[in-house]
Amino acid sequence: MPEDQGAPASPLEARSSPDRSSPAPAASPQPQILAPGSPVPRRGAVRASVPQKLAEALSSQYGLNVFVAGLLLLLAWAVHASGVGKSDLLCVLTALMLLQLLWMLWYVGRSAAHRRLTRPKDTHAGARWLRGSIALFAFITVILGGLKVGYFIGFSACLSVTEGVFPVTHTVHTLVQVYFLWVHAKDIIQSFKTLERFGVIHSVFTNLLLWANSVLNESKHQLNEHKERLITLGFGNITIVLDDHTPPCNCSPPALCAAISHGVYYLYPFNIEYQILASTMLYVLWKNIGRRVDGRRHPKIRFKFRGLTAGSALGLAALAATIGVVAVYLIQIGRSRTKSESALTMFYLCATTLLALMGAAGLVGIRIYRLSEQSLDESKNPARRLDADLLVATASGSWLLSWGSLLAMLCAKARPAYTWYNLPYSVLVIVEKYIQNLFIIESTYREPGELSDDIRTLRVVTVCNGSDAPLASSGLKGGAAAGKDVAPRDGRMPPAADGSMCLREGSGEGDAGPSWEGARGPAGRQHFLQGNVKRSILRNVAAFLFLCNISLWIPPAFGCRPEYDNGLEETVFGFEPWIIVVNLAMPFSIFYRMHAAASLFEVYCKI
């Protein structure tokens, strides 16, 4: 048979052979033959993801360069470098804020123009209580801006115009940014992704530079007060040189200007928390750009006040005691050597007791979670991951100070009586934060309490003596039996779905009834606490730790800093090295307490 008239050698050739009478189709590439089970390559997805990865890398490098350049400018002003004045620093910060304002207004306008489009949202980002907190801190920041404007008006004869423009710009920036975060914190941006990455990361590092500027101004004020108090503790060999930036002209009226200059520094802690909180929310927004949302529906976490419990009562008592201790500390410190030592002793005793109670409460919470069968939430959550990373990273500030104090205790030649109280305090700071971080991370990775009660897993129970028995559904809301759908054909029951649980009927005289055997999963574990009691204890632990963290945030935020006033560390390490360590570590230590309080509030709402 001629070759052109013969049949194809195989069915594949028959399907692929063109009709000889019809024109031949254009040549097309042969499909790639894949091995069974191998993943199908998605060229379009890979090619689409490459520019986004590059945009993420480029935007992060841009933000880091802006931040490093700004930090160097801050450092140059702090050390009085020649050619760098305060007006230069404020001009750069004002320009960065104006650029962020333009981007935020463009984003808000574009979102309003396309408001009918459905956009994906990150349910974990921008919780209502978080937005409420940033609104409160922003309100105090606006008051701070008003005081700075009043300070500029009083000293307008000898101040640069930038010192008046900066607080006005910062106030407008704060108002627009709070609105932006309140409305768009949950957005998952899917269009203009490259431009949005640069805009969001610019906003992140602009807020970080504003935070660093506030920290530097507040640290200078605290350092000046510390230098004035050092002489009362007998450290006269330390040269006291005040780093004063008071304008050279007189203010009118003098009483009002003095009140404004003192009031500004009491509002700085709230401004510092506002800036760092805004930068974290913006960072989550940046991480969510181009993110694919999973199909799971996450339950909304809402706060429910359940009355005054034992944990909240103890926490409120600790808060009231801490406020009293701080008030007495600020009054007595620096008055005389005896009063300063008594103030330090009082602070160490109060803080040591509070830290010991917090560590014990955290251990109780961790133990309950270890014995619990509550499932883990393994969904992708940038906000939760950032919270856990920040807890560990910012805790290192307190750990640095505590280890420095312990080393000073070991190396010091003379140890006054009050410094011995610093030993248990430093140890408990290290241990308590370690325990608290474990409790918070364990809690945030658990499913909400309501989910574990309403949605249960179908558990299949095996009757070990071989008799036929219906399969029961444990925990389904409908309560219907599941045995009709999965009835065995050979008289044997299938193995248990959750770890070979076995219900054995009593067959001997000594057997009183059915018993559970062979349970390898959590369902077979003996529970010393049932659901409601367990949740009640966890709520008390979370409420107590929440209020205690606020209590421990107050002393360093408002000038009660024994790391400055103790004097022992400065004798061992030297004045300037220890002051540098404290100024670097203290902002992270202060932020840790507020961030831990926010995380514990979320934990309380989930339980």
Per residue in 185-203, pLDDT (tens digit) is 888 877 766 788 899 999 9
**Residues paired with residue 502 on neighbouring β-strands, in sequence order:** 462, 517
Question: For residue range 110-138, what is the model confidence (pLDDT) as tens digits?
Answer: 888 877 766 777 766 767 778 888 999 99
Cα separation, 572 vs 414, whole angstroms: 10
The widest CA-to-CA distance across the chain, in whole angstroms, is: 119
**Residues paired with residue 44 on neighbouring β-strands, in sequence order:** none
Give the strand order in the sheet containing 515-517.
462-463, 502-504, 515-517
Instruction: Tally the C-alpha atoms within 13 A of residue 167's C-alpha that lie toward its C-beta.
Output: 19
Place of tokens 């109280």: 421
Q: What angle do CA 203, 208, 209 make, to 5 degrees?
A: 100
The count of other CB atoms within 10 Å of the CB of residue 431 is: 16
Cα separation, 269 vs 140, whole angstroms: 10
Helices (H), 416-530: 422-444, 449-454
Sign of the alpha-carbon dihedral angle for 346, 349, 353, 359: positive
Which DSSP letter does residue 446 get? B
**pLDDT of 24:** 46
pLDDT at position 4 over 70: no
**pLDDT of 248:** 67
Question: For residue range 27-39, what is the model confidence (pLDDT) as tens digits?
Answer: 444 444 444 444 4
**pLDDT of 487:** 43
Candidates 261, 275, 266; CA nearest to 138 is 275
Cα separation, 580 vs 223, whole angstroms: 10
Instruction: Tally the C-alpha atoms within 13 A of residue 327's C-alpha that lie toward its C-beta.
Output: 6
Average pLDDT over residues 518-524: 43
Question: For residue range 297-356, what is the model confidence (pLDDT) as tens digits?
Answer: 555 555 566 656 788 899 999 999 999 999 999 888 877 788 888 888 999 999 999 999
**pLDDT of 301:** 57
Domain ranges for the chain: 49-113+120-291, 306-447+529-606
The answer to whether 108 and 180 have CB atoms below 8 angstroms apart is: yes
The answer to whether 421 and 345 have CB atoms below 8 angstroms apart is: yes
State residue 453 phi and psi, 5-degree precision.
Answer: -90, -35
- For residue 322, the one-letter residue type is T
Rounded to the nearest integer, the mean pLDDT of the chain is 75
pLDDT at position 547 over 60: yes
**pLDDT of 242:** 54
The answer to whether 299 and 450 have CB atoms below 8 angstroms apart is: yes
**pLDDT of 457:** 40
Please give the model's pTM, rounded to 2 decimal places.
0.71
> What token pair was written down for 395?
């805790």
**pLDDT of 261:** 78
